[in-house]
Amino acid sequence: VSAWLAEDFLFQEHESEVLFVSRKVPKKLMLHADCLVDIGNTYCPENYRFDHKPPAFQDRNSTCATRLIWKYLLDIGVAVAHLEPLVEITYQGDTHRNSEALKQSRVDGPHAELTKLKTQHRDTTEVYQRMVLWLRSYTKNL
């Protein structure tokens, strides 16, 4: 969800390419990527770095990359407030909380869709691209 937020809302005026890399981000990528989400252990929104893991935050469960980028988008005036329910269940899923909304998401929401796509496709990029289409449709109703 964090990559999708960056792609559709942070870079809505520009062409963007989403790449999936290992947690050990190559130095070159750290220096030259336009935006990093959920990797790099750095939170620096003005440089489009959105990771919630130490040393960026002492408690990695206090937030998540999706919540960080969503709050940044709100701060810069992007109309994403309506995505709060999606952001919240994404955060809960990332931090192993177990609300009724998250349980429902695992039945017929984003978590269920992601699980289904992962069983149908092996390629991470293809899963992401299909999930993006689903998220765009899903969030029209929020």
For residue range 91-102, what is the model confidence (pLDDT) as tens digits? 999 887 788 989
Tokens read off for 96: 């192993």
pLDDT at 20 over 80: no
**CA-to-CA distance for 66 and 120, rounded, in angstroms?**
24
Query: Which helix H or strand E contains 132, and what residues bound it?
Result: helix 124-139
Tokens read off for 21: 């890399």
- The proportion of the chain whose per-residue pLDDT surpasses 70, expressed as a percent, equals 99
Place of tokens 């960056």: 6
pLDDT at 19 over 80: no
Contact call for residues 94 and 64 (beta carbons, < 8 A) = yes
Averaged pLDDT, 124-138: 95
Phi, then psi, of 44 in degrees rounded to 5? -150, 80
Burial of 39 (0-12, 13-18, 19+ CB in 10 A): buried
Contact call for residues 117 and 130 (beta carbons, < 8 A) = yes
